[in-house]
Amino acid sequence: MASCPLLVIYNPVCGDSTAEAFFNEHIFPRLEEAHLQVVQKIATGAAGHAGTIVSEFIEKYEGDVTVILGSGDGTLHEIINALSLELLKGTREKVASSSVRLVLVPCGTANALYCSLFKPDSMHEGPAYKLKSLEAFIGDSNVVPLTLAITTISSPQSTQQSCHKVAISAVVTSTALHASILHDSESLRKEMPGIERFKVAAWNNITRWYSSQVKLLPTPSAGVVEIYDPDQKTFVTRDDDDHGIVDVIGPFAYFLSTVNVDRLEPAFRITPLVSEFVPAEVSLDIVMVRPHRDPTFVTDTTGARQAFAEKATAVLTAAYQDGNHINLKYADDGKITTEGTGPTVVEYIRCGGWEWIPDDIDEKAQLLCSDGAIFSIEKGGKAVCRAAAPADGPRFVVYV
């Protein structure tokens, strides 16, 4: 596949703004050494530019293309969304029949997809770690297809044809605390170019709860919603059945789903079972925290939210300890433990999708994050997210 037309793109402002230097020092010399011809090399000039570059490139060269992408997850998100939108509009016919063969060079802040595909080790700060996907491409190694999570955000007036927005994620789709963190952390980017800005934003939002009606949707083939049981160390089917759909009552402290990734930062393994129990069919993994599962919860007050912050912090801290948050339970006195038979602090779900209808008066519950891009659900509107492997349309595969 080294014969596909080769496009090189990097985002000069992602992460700590060193993508251009890294490409000049490592990527271009390595491509030359391997005698690989680049058809076009280009730095993104603005937000949204990466999507335009790739769709124009496909239109010009037809068929499958290889894209070496120096960025974080957000720039990849822009490419996937731009191509999928072209397909919906029918403006670029060739997009539909093409595969985009991605060579990822992690130059962003979190690089969730890259860190999930190439597990970070003690050398992960060095150049060799960042060149793994490039070396896989040069060695004509395997590719893995990306599952996508397609979210439709509709307003109260939306009809089937109109008034909705579509966001497509290759990494994370979230509401609640994670969406608030991504919403707030963007304004901290200049002063904190690294992942510490996510921690600051988390701390600023840790006492917030989010009100929403939620449904968990079954997987397309098996038609089930599964929940992880840490005692049996396996997923079990939820059987409170309404055609496989499970209603969930809030409030929520945390609600996040991922596809393709077991982590959102090198050490933040929020959906560890993506790599431990590889999904058998197209699905997404959800992590949710509902404070009323705490046996000491009585009623929703400011004091209760402040007290629960300690438990939400324990969940996030355990996610940094190799994804151990999925084993946390409540003791009878509400203390968090990994022993006993109490309710789990985290509910870890594998299913086909979810629906989120935020409470009208809860403004922060209206935020939705798709791979770092933030959307607002209108009052009276809703978001429906479904896992999908696009049979029709551009396919995205990554060299690993």
Select the span of 28-36, 71-79, 136-144, 281-289 touching ligand ATP (CB under 6 A). Answer: 71-79
CB of 23 to ligand ATP, least distance (A): 14
Question: Minimum distance between the CB of residue 35 and ligand ATP, rounded to whole angstroms?
Answer: 29
User: Rule CB under 6 A: is residue 81 a binding residue for ligand ATP?
Assistant: no
Q: Which residues contact 355 (CB under 8 A, 6 or more apart)?
A: 213, 214, 215, 217, 382, 383, 384, 385
**Which CB sits closer to ligand ATP, 186 or 276?**
186
Considering the complex, what minimum distance in angstroms separates the CB of residue 78 from ligand ATP? 6
44-52, 139-147, 155-163, 204-212 -> range binding ligand ATP (CB under 6 A) = 44-52
- For ligand ATP, which residue of 5, 27, 66, 78 counts as binding (CB under 6 A)? 78
Q: Is 47 in the site for ligand ATP (CB under 6 A)?
A: yes
Residues 82-121 that bind ligand ATP (CB under 6 A): 108-111
- Answer for which of 5, 51, 72, 323 binds ligand ATP (CB under 6 A) is 72
Cα dihedral 5, 11, 14, 16 in deg (nearest 10): 100
Segment near ligand ATP (CB under 6 A); pick from 6-14, 119-127, 204-212, 270-278? 6-14
Q: Smallest gap, in angstroms, from Cβ of residue 73 to ligand ATP?
A: 4
- Token pair 């707030």 is found at 184
Least spacing, CB of residue 287 vs ligand ATP, in Å: 19
The residue from 7, 8, 9, 14 that contacts ligand ATP (CB under 6 A) is 14
Structure tokens at 286: 């959800």
Query: Which C-beta is closer to ligand ATP: that of 75 or that of 219?
Result: 75
Can residue 71 be called a binding residue for ligand ATP (CB under 6 A)?
yes
Interface with ligand ATP (CB under 6 A), residue from 53, 65, 73, 117: 73
Q: Does 190 bind ligand ATP (CB under 6 A)?
A: no
Taking the complex as a whole, the smallest distance from the CB of residue 214 to ligand ATP amounts, in Å, to: 26
Q: Which C-beta is closer to ligand ATP: that of 13 or that of 331? A: 13
Task: Tell me the two tokens of residue 391.
Answer: 């049979």
Please report whether residue 174 would count as binding ligand ATP according to CB under 6 A: no
Nearer Cβ to ligand ATP (189/292): 189
Interaction between residue 45 and ligand ATP (CB under 6 A): yes
Residues in contact with ligand ATP by the rule CB under 6 A: 11-15, 44-47, 49, 71-75, 78, 108-111, 372
